[in-house]
Amino acid sequence: MKIASWNVNSVKARLPRLLDYLKDSNVDVLCLQELKVVDEAFPREEVEQLGYHVETHGQKTYNGVAILSKSPIENIIRGLPGNEDDDQSRYIEATIDGIRVASIYLPNGNPVETEKFPYKLRWMDHLITHARSLLKEEIPVVLAGDYNIIPQDEDCYDAKAWEGDALTQPQSRHRFRQLLNLGYYDAYRTFTPDVNYTYWDYQRGAWQKDNGIRIDHLLMSAQAVDMLDMVGIDKGPRGQERPSDHTPIWAALKTSA
């Protein structure tokens, strides 16, 4: 099973890129973030015509997450459990062929001196609590998404340029490590020591200079890591016309199916 995560930065604006990726990538499950549409406005028909089931948790103008799957999507949860007061659509979770999959759009947190940063940290605390409860089920779990966290300096083209940013703050990185300490694995870092990025800003020629950062992650339970066969980052979509500023990250899992 090939599972991918992609912040599309507006599914309407990026629909041609999305359809191309679904046709070309042979992905079985695609977790999307930053849809920027309500559920009714998601291009469901175009995606379903390619053989995918669709489940969304949308929001007008901002946020929004989805799970697309060739297999049926079951036991769906919309919204991060334990964080029901949050009115932002940032989390959807479901079971696909025995694997529990979540699509996550974690808050950015900038500017740090505003309420946005404490909101990010509170949101991560709720995620940690829920992630811990998922491990008790002792099943394969994949927490996929845009975490808006640069885990280590080597996950950034220039660590100095990101000093003071919410993505590199000690409090943010500490919470990311807490997820790993629960028993989750950073699939990309587990599989390869290579330096690679998932995001390049639209400004200052970042893409052309490869001035990127790795903020999109696939965190896996031990049961999922045991199935891990390959991990990669597809840079192709970022170089196309009218791209998202993110590109897909994916993992191939060996299943009995």
Active-site entry in 97, 146, 165, 186: 146
What tokens appear for 122 in the block?
A: 């509170």
Which is it for strands 199-200 and 249-253: parallel, antiparallel or unpaired? unpaired
What tokens appear for 149 in the block?
A: 């966290």
Which stretches does DSSP call E strand in the chain?
A: 2-7, 29-33, 53-57, 65-69, 74-78, 91-96, 99-105, 141-146, 185-186, 199-200, 212-213, 216-220, 228-233, 249-253
**Residue 39 is among the residues annotated as catalytic for this protein:** no
Looking up tokens 């500017």 gives 111
**Residue 147 is among the residues annotated as catalytic for this protein:** no
Three-state secondary-structure class, residue 32: strand
Burial of 114 (C-beta count, 10 Å sphere; 0-12/13-18/19+): exposed
Query: What secondary structure does DSSP assign to 8-27, as a single string?
Result: -S-TTTTHHHHHHHHHHH--
Contacts 24+ apart (CB under 8 A), 89-94: 89/57, 89/58, 89/59, 89/63, 89/64, 89/65, 90/63, 90/65, 90/123, 91/57, 91/65, 91/127, 92/55, 92/56, 92/57, 92/65, 92/66, 92/67, 94/55, 94/67
φ, ψ of residue 213 to 5 degrees: the values are -140, 155
Active-site entry in 21, 52, 91, 105: 105
Q: Which residues are identified as catalytic?
A: 105, 146
